[in-house]
Structure 1
């Protein structure tokens, strides 16, 4: 007899690639959950409940039975695998295939996510214009293509990276890949990755999550220019892989300008003046 499922509450944002990964995992494992986007996320304002779940004040963070709190999408998904063995597994049984899935997760959570983040800095926040924006966009397009070329042989002739059904690798690729498609940086039509993307969109757990993401992006679009203004108080978080993309592509000046304007941040802790 299986154990009862505890209450699962997710601090979430519909457009976050990391939060999307967790929502896909919960849905593929048929685990009921509730979710909420922390009020004023990114503004650095006090939120004791959110901070108690994640000192970094980042999404996603998962609260189990109101008292056990964990954060980081990879930690959360691994917890779900360990805690709910009777639910559909997201990992293949073969150790080599598991290693490949985790390697894909690492690549998507760092290098791939950073590309989409940088494009958001240009498109949403207008941190670069003219030739500088063109250079960043060109670098993003080239590096996205390289990642797609790296992913293709790992997919091979399978329906999903995980085999016959979506698994860990699929839910790590899906959020960042779908964002690329929406930005016109998808793969060639009828390529293996293009067909995989179509199949993923036919999986209810994935389709629901993508709809939430698209709705969240539309909501940000509808927020008006004041939402994105340099002095709106909204601070974008620059993690290490995001910084790396900007630095290696000659956009370190964006970081310095953001520090001057006080509209970038580095994790939960305040920087020292």
Structure 2
């Protein structure tokens, strides 16, 4: 989603003018897609860390910037507001195409985008699973259901099966170099395994090897 932010929209602490700023929640799965990507690209963007614990992302000031009340949100130096991690990543990739992280040919870009969209779906299904596996999301799921979680995980596994098959012997999801597909899929593994200590995708040897390899990269450090 892209909109134009009026420069006098807020007089509060969230107002940042004259430069690009990324509103994030550092531990969040979707914000980490952007932060990992930026690190891999070697790009530094000023950050504003939203206080999720105190619901800063639901304040009127932030909702004027992103009506969905979610992170990440990128505000460009001319006041353009870009929401949703995938849109932010592709916007920055267009500004800074090197090193290429979507591919250098139509075929490569199609493959990377297909994997990235599988990653989007994986995050959506996995977050529903997390909401029903832990009690850490009372606003999202006040009554977690173990039975529902088990059903959801079967749908998660459908996508993990695809990724396990697709990666083959590659070092990264789409080949021998990291792409936006890795930046999309890695954070949900890290969220489940490190933030919540859950046995996520543990029976996938190729994905496990990929995860352990990517985890050593500077971009993957919390």
**Residue 184 in 1 paired to residue 184 in 2?**
no
Unaligned runs of 5+ in 1: 1-5, 212-273
Equivalent residue for 1:160?
Answer: 172
Q: TM-score, normalised by structure 1?
A: 0.64
Question: Is residue 192–residue 200 contact of structure 2 (8 Å, CA) maintained in 1?
Answer: yes
Render the CA deviation track for 1:211-266: whole Å, top value 9, x for unaligned.
2xxxxxxxxxxxxxxxxxxxxxxxxxxxxxxxxxxxxxxxxxxxxxxxxxxxxxxx
1:80-132 deviation per Cα after TM superposition (whole angstroms, max 9, x unaligned): 111112x3221122323322222222222234323223422551226335xxx
Residue 108 of structure 2 is aligned with which of 89, 97, 118? Answer: 97
| Deviation of 1:176 (Å) | 1.3
User: Partner of 2:219 in structure 1?
Assistant: 205
- 2:102–2:179 CA contact under 8 A, matched in 1: yes
| 3-state DSSP of counterpart to 2:152 | helix
TM-score, structure 2 as length reference: 0.77
**1:108 corresponds to:** 119
1:267 alignment counterpart: none
1:150 shift after superposition: 0.9
User: Of the two, which has the highest radius of gyration?
Assistant: 1
Moved more, 101-110 or 22-31: 101-110
Q: What RMSD in Å do the two structures reach over aligned CA positions? A: 2.4
TM superposition shift of 1:166: 1.2
Asked whether the equivalents of residues 115 and 174 of structure 2 are also in contact (C-alpha less than 8 Å), the reply is no
Number of residue pairs matched by the alignment? 196
Aligned residue among 27, 30, 33 for 1:18: 30
The 1:196–1:68 alpha-carbon spacing in structure 2 relative to 1, beyond 3 Å, is same
2:32·2:187 contact (CA, 8 Å) conserved in 1? yes
Query: Which ranges in structure 2 are unaligned for 5 or more consecutive residues?
Result: 1-17
